[in-house]
Amino acid sequence: MRIVAGSRKGHKIASPKGVGTRPTGDRVREAAFSLIGPVDEATVLDVFAGSGAMGLEALSRGASRAVFVERDRDACRVIQQNLAKLRLTGAVVLCQDAVSALRQERARGHRYDLILVDAPYEEWDRFAAPLAELLPALLDEHGLVVVETTARVEVELPLALQTSRRYGSARITVFSHHENL
């Protein structure tokens, strides 16, 4: 895997070994960021971060800060290694369960310009309700939530749907607080 664009374009990034994570491929990341648009100075929350590919991409493209949430300790180490290798600053890795981390972020009053959500495909149903409860409070007024799921899943959140597109076996769905941002 490589960073697709920005200051670290072309740099290789590592992904965790084994089947516990499914890194977002270069093509899907590129498509997602074409839907998102510029992320200069954005604060980013990368939930179910895995290798951190989406959040790393955002930092490479000019985001000012990223919080990576991942429960797998090996994956957390890989994110830290990728951040060090790419010399990206302004990042925090929370190695804990996503729902717990989101509850803590909400309790602290943190809000983000861009929230990236890539739950394990087979566990989407388990996370759909807690994400619907927590994400709106974490999203800045003019921010975006970008959800990656398997292509057959139609994501529903209590936010305004901006677009939903299929890319092979993946679907990228974008939400905001307002209609047609």
Q: What's the token pair of residue 97?
A: 């369960």
Residue 36: inside a domain, yes or no? Answer: yes
pLDDT given for residue 21 in this prediction: 53
pLDDT given for residue 9 in this prediction: 87
Nearest to 134 by CA among 160, 173, 101, 178: 101
Count up the domains in the chain and report the number.
1
Residue 7: inside a domain, yes or no? Answer: no
Residue 115: inside a domain, yes or no? Answer: yes
- With tokens 């998102």, the residue in question is 36
Q: Bridge-partner residues for 98, per DSSP?
A: none
Residue 67: inside a domain, yes or no? Answer: yes
Handedness of CA 54, 142, 172, 48 (dihedral sign): positive
The CATH number given to whatever domain includes residue 144 is 3.40.50.150
Residue 15: inside a domain, yes or no? Answer: no
Q: What's the token pair of residue 181?
A: 């941002």
Q: Consecutive 10-residue runs of the chain (181 residues): their mean pLDDT?
A: 85 76 71 94 97 95 97 95 94 97 97 96 94 98 96 95 93 90 57
Residue 86: inside a domain, yes or no? Answer: yes
Q: What is the pLDDT of residues 92-108, one digit of tens each?
A: 999 999 999 999 999 99
Residue 8: inside a domain, yes or no? Answer: no
Counting every residue, how long is the chain? 181
pLDDT given for residue 19 in this prediction: 45
Residue 98: inside a domain, yes or no? Answer: yes
pTM score of the predicted model: 0.93
Domain residue limits at 121: 26-176
